[in-house]
Amino acid sequence: MIPILEKNNNLSWAFTIIVAALIFIISSLQLQPSGIIGPVGIHAILYHLLAFFVLSFLLAISLTKGKNPRLLPLAFLLALAYAVSDEIHQLFVPGRYGSVSDVMIDATGSILAVLIYSILIRYRKINSKRL
């Protein structure tokens, strides 16, 4: 799937925009306080990690097309800016609030995605030289 997205930049940007829109929609949902702390907190952490991992991975593919790893920091910075704007957006949603810790979790997912994609690009480059 990754090579398809790298070759078809319009498709990779479409998926990137869809993921960003889904994050925005989920952030727009009003939450009722549940009084449950344990598993809900873990689910929220996993959601943030996964959502921003996917967004950053897609941003990395869309920006670099698998060829220009110098643009990978830009993918991270764009995802981080989106994370901050998402938390600001939540300040205006009833039952939601902005959280610096959520931004830090989002940044962690983003860094992981960019690092993994960077490793993938380097691995393919090394293997192509061997052939």
Q: Where are the chain's structural domains?
A: 2-130
What is the C-alpha separation between 57 and 2, in angstroms, rounded?
Answer: 10
pLDDT, average across residues 90-94:
92
CB-count exposure of residue 89 (10 Å: 0-12, 13-18, 19+):
middle
pLDDT, average across residues 4-19:
96
Note the pLDDT of residue 33.
Answer: 56
Note the pLDDT of residue 62.
Answer: 97
Q: How many alpha carbons fall within 13 Å on the CB side of residue 131?
A: 6
pTM: 0.89
Note the pLDDT of residue 131.
Answer: 62
Q: CB–CB of 18/51 below 8 Å?
A: no
pLDDT above 90: residue 38? no
pLDDT above 60: residue 13? yes
Q: Which amino acid is located at 1 in the chain?
A: M
Q: CB–CB of 23/82 below 8 Å?
A: yes
pLDDT above 80: residue 40? no
If one compares 130 and 45, the residue with the highest pLDDT of the two is 45
Q: CB–CB of 108/80 below 8 Å?
A: no
